[in-house]
């Protein structure tokens, strides 16, 4: 794709997301990051971000509410409001061996300034050290946190040690989006590779695939054709609520479908490896 096609692709992804009902209430604002800002981040981190993720960093973010006229918020409350609006909380359907399942994703919005992405990287290191003890600084070198995988299972990261052009859909050890389980307390034993770098569990082949799954979500049309049920934002949320309440629902699209993990979700490379291609422009 040309640079313009990359930008157009990201814009079309947001249009598809809103057409599905997610964040369609006019509360998205254009991110202020520029090419210069992103290049400066890459320089100080000695990293090269994927082109689609660069375009995403310049796309759209959630609007942070402001106090009404005459109202004042203390810093703690301001920080709380900001933290609850710094991610897109999304759900999408997948097909695995003919069965449908759904999986939540919390995708960080583009930061208000690129220094916030630096902070996310440092926070990943600090939170890991609190839980697991110190690991070599260099082991985090190629990890860029971009969200939370599943229903808060653990941080989702770009692993920039795995070039996207070398991704093999049939080999999830090459996938460039990885996640780290919050319940895993020995990252050194579980994730530290022979190359001295941390490599998480496979989540998605690349950032474009993640956008295809969660913004375009082609499986929803297939599900609706098969079941007569149109997956809406509220449908996903109702499924999560039923799951939390421990209620079962045998109807197609019941709590077992949109409330929790897909079957076998504990295994790396769970998410279907057949990359949807309807919206690709390689």
pTM across the whole model = 0.83
| Average pLDDT for 152-169 | 93
Provide the pLDDT for residue 95. Answer: 83
pLDDT band at 131 (very low <50, low <70, confident <90, very high): confident
Whether residue 155 is predicted with pLDDT greater than 80 in this model: the reply is yes
Walk me through the domains of the chain, giving residue ranges and CATH numbers: 3-258 (3.40.1580.10)
Whether residue 265 is predicted with pLDDT greater than 50 in this model: the reply is no
* Cβ–Cβ under 8 Å, residues 156 and 186: no
Lowest average pLDDT, out of 5-9, 114-118, 196-200, 243-247, goes to 243-247
Provide the pLDDT for residue 251. Answer: 35
Whether residue 282 is predicted with pLDDT greater than 90 in this model: the reply is no
Torsion angles phi and psi, residue 281, rounded to 5: -145, 75
* Cβ–Cβ under 8 Å, residues 272 and 213: no
Q: Which of the pair, 187 or 132, is modelled with greater confidence?
A: 187
How many angstroms separate the Cα of 81 from the Cα of each of 63, 64, 77, 151, 230?
11, 7, 6, 21, 32
Whether residue 132 is predicted with pLDDT greater than 50 in this model: the reply is yes
Q: Which of the pair, 240 or 269, is modelled with greater confidence?
A: 240
Helix residue spans in 31-143 (DSSP H): 35-45, 51-57, 75-83, 115-132
Whole-angstrom Cα distance, residue 108 to residue 95?
25
Provide the pLDDT for residue 120. Answer: 95
pLDDT band at 82 (very low <50, low <70, confident <90, very high): low
Q: Within 10 A of 60 (CB to CB), how many other CB atoms are there?
A: 21
Q: Within 10 A of 101 (CB to CB), how many other CB atoms are there?
A: 22
Q: Within 10 A of 7 (CB to CB), how many other CB atoms are there?
A: 18
pLDDT band at 277 (very low <50, low <70, confident <90, very high): very low
Whether residue 280 is predicted with pLDDT greater than 80 in this model: the reply is no
Tokens for 31? 């991110």
Give the relative orientation of helices 35-45 and 115-132 as an angle to the nearest 10 degrees.
40
Which run of H or E residues covers position 191?
helix 187-191
pLDDT in tens, 14-72: 999 999 999 988 889 999 999 999 999 999 999 999 999 999 999 999 876 555 556 65
pLDDT band at 254 (very low <50, low <70, confident <90, very high): very low
**What is the chain's mean pLDDT, rounded?**
82
Percent of the chain with pLDDT over 70: 77
Tokens for 184? 């895993």
Whole-angstrom Cα distance, residue 111 to residue 11?
17
Whole-angstrom Cα distance, residue 163 to residue 257?
33
Q: Within 10 A of 257 (CB to CB), how many other CB atoms are there?
A: 24
Whole-angstrom Cα distance, residue 39 to residue 109?
18
Provide the pLDDT for residue 75. Answer: 58
* Cβ–Cβ under 8 Å, residues 117 and 47: no
pLDDT band at 1 (very low <50, low <70, confident <90, very high): confident
Closest-CA residue to 100 (of 91, 90, 112) = 91
Tokens for 138? 């260099």
Token match 């809406």: residue?
232
């Amino acid at each position: 794709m040309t640079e313009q096609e990359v930008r157009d692709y990201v814009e079309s992804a947001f249009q598809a997301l809103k057409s599905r009902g997610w964040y369609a209430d006019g509360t998205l604002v254009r991110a202020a990051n520029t090419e210069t800002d992103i290049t400066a981040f890459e320089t100080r981190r000695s990293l090269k971000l994927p082109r689609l993720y660069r375009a995403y960093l310049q796309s759209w973010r959630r609007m942070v509410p402001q106090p009404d006229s005459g109202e004042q918020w203390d810093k703690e409350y301001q920080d709380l409001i900001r933290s609850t609006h710094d991610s897109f909380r999304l759900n999408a359907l997948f097909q695995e061996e003919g069965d449908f399942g759904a999986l939540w994703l919390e995708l960080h919005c583009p930061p208000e300034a690129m220094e916030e992405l630096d902070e996310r990287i440092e926070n990943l290191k600090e939170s890991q050290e609190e839980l697991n003890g110190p690991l070599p600084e260099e082991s985090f070198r190629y990890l860029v946190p971009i969200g939370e995988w599943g229903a808060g299972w653990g941080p989702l990261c770009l692993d920039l040690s795995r070039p996207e052009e070398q991704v093999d859909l049939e080999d999830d050890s090459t996938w460039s989006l990885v996640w780290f389980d919050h319940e895993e307390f020995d990252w050194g034993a579980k994730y530290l590779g022979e190359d001295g770098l941390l490599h998480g569990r496979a989540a998605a082949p690349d950032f474009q695939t993640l956008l295809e799954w969660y913004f375009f979500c082609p499986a929803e049309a297939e599900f609706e054709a098969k079941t007569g049920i149109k997956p809406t934002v509220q449908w996903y949320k109702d499924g999560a609520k039923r799951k939390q309440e421990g209620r079962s629902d045998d109807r197609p699209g019941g709590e077992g479908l949109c409330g929790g993990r897909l079957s076998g979700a504990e295994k790396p490379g769970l998410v279907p490896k057949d990359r949807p291609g309807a919206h690709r422009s390689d």
